[in-house]
Amino acid sequence: MNIQSAINRVVFAPRDERMLVAVEVKRRKRKRVPFLPTGGKGDYMTYICLSVTNKRPAQLLITKVKQFEGSAPFTRRSQWAVEQLRQVNGINPNKDCPEFDLVFDNAFDQWVASSAPEKCIFIQIMYHACQTYWEGKEGVPGSPSGDQQKGQRAQGGQGSPGAQGGQGSPGAQVGQMGGPVAQARRKSTVGPRPHHTEFVNCQSKLTGDACKMNLVLYRCKVFFNRMKKVMVSNQSRSQAGAGPRAGPSGQRPPGGSMGSVVQRASQALQERGERLGRAEDKTVDLMHKAQQFADTAHKLALKYSN
């Protein structure tokens, strides 16, 4: 079971929520905490998670989860609704980087992810989840935006043909006199229109049409990075357990087979990551060329159809 499945099972499943994505982060500017929880030693891992409720109407939530050493596996620390998320800042719109900012109504967090691909996956899934959430909110009668649209339709259809022609019954005239009061009441019940989350300094490939291909490439990069970390940690543990070994002449051998294997694997992973990056750039280039070809073909078809 990977870390995301464990977080979903321990933190979100008991609350009838479903986790969409999680990213391991650290603060770029660490805050000074006056105290630590009981049992915590200060060594912990932080995850920013995006989840959705299973109940209707669904709610999109951002949750901060921590894993302390010597305590419960995962602890939910803070949670915000997507309506409180004002801005997501990708820091650099020109290249992959692990830094990003989250701006809420009552908080401002500066994070750095464990790797640039994990941050890109998180922002990409969050962007499309927010778009789907707000599009669904537009048509829900109980939501502020849905009530506002309903009130506008009611205002547009309240006039009768007699009222448009300057004639009408006394009851209609009384309704017209009470119109401003009724409109003020409707406005007070509808409330302000909720703001949509703003995504700034995010690469266009995270919010563009090639999102599915980019998501696959980023997942491959994350997998290779994790494999590299596992191999490096296994090498360090094996070296610590074996200790220095002397050769027949009392000298330490120049290098072990395990170190050379890890070095070759690390080099292969780096080369594969570079090839994936080039393939990603070629994919975006081909998509632009295909779009240009489609536009040209459409223009030619319109030209010769006449």
d(CA 148, CA 181): 16
Mean pLDDT over 291-299 rounds to 83
**pLDDT tens readout for residues 236-255:** 666 666 555 544 444 444 54
Residue 2 in any domain: the answer is no
DSSP 8-state symbol, 10: I
- Domain CATH number, residue 50: 2.30.29.90
Are 17 and 109 part of one and the same domain?
yes
Split at pLDDT 50, 70, 90, the class of 273 is confident
Claim to verify: residue 128 and residue 220 sit in the same structural domain = no
- pLDDT, residue 282, reads 83
Q: Is 220 in the same domain as 289?
A: yes
Give the distance between the most distant pair of CA atoms in the chain. 115
Q: Quick check: 190 pLDDT over 50?
A: no
5, part of any domain: no
Query: Are 134 and 127 in contact, with CB atoms under 8 Å apart?
Result: no
Task: Tell me which residue range forms the domain holding 287.
Answer: 211-240+259-305
Q: Give the residue with greater pLDDT, 20 vs 283.
A: 20
Residue 117 lies in a domain: yes
Residue 162 lies in a domain: no
* pLDDT for residue 266: 79
Lowest pLDDT segment from 4-8, 30-34, 175-179: 175-179
Euclidean distance between CA atoms 123 and 65, whole angstroms: 17
Kindly give the interhelix angle for 116-138 and 144-156, rounded to the nearest 10 degrees.
Answer: 30
In a domain, 249, yes or no: no
Q: Is residue 144 part of a domain?
A: no
Residue 77, phi then psi, degrees to nearest 5: -100, -55
pLDDT per residue as tens digits for the range 98-150: 999 999 998 999 999 998 889 988 998 999 999 999 888 876 555 555 555 55
* Residues 203 and 267 occupy one common structural domain: no
Please check whether residues 56 and 201 belong to one and the same domain: yes
Q: Please check whether residues 119 and 220 belong to one and the same domain.
A: no
- When divided into structural domains, the chain yields a total of 2
Same domain as 98, residue 20: yes
Residue by residue, what is the 3-state secondary structure of 39-59? Answer: CCCCCEEEEEEEEEECCCCCC
Question: Per the domain annotation, does 220 fall within a domain?
Answer: yes
Q: Note the pLDDT tens digit of each residue in 212-239.
A: 556 566 666 666 666 666 666 666 666 6
CA separation (Å) from 140 to 56, 133, 144, 186, 272?
Answer: 11, 11, 9, 17, 47
203 and 215 fall within a common domain: no
pLDDT of 257: 65
Does 265 reside within a domain? yes
What are the tokens at 249?
Answer: 């002449």
Residues 175-197 have a mean pLDDT of 52
Task: Give the number of other Cβ atoms within 10 Å of residue 59's Cβ.
Answer: 15
Span between the terminal Cα atoms of the chain, in Å: 62
One domain for residues 117 and 226: no
> Given this model, what pLDDT does residue 229 score?
65
Q: Where does a domain end: 164, 186, 207? A: 207
- Verify that 300 and 200 share a domain, yes or no: no
At 74-87, the pLDDT tens digits run: 889 899 999 999 99
| Residues 27, 132 within the same domain | yes
Q: Report how far apart, in Å, the C-alpha atoms of 156 and of each of 147, 153, 160 are.
A: 14, 5, 10
Residues 300 and 280 in one domain: yes
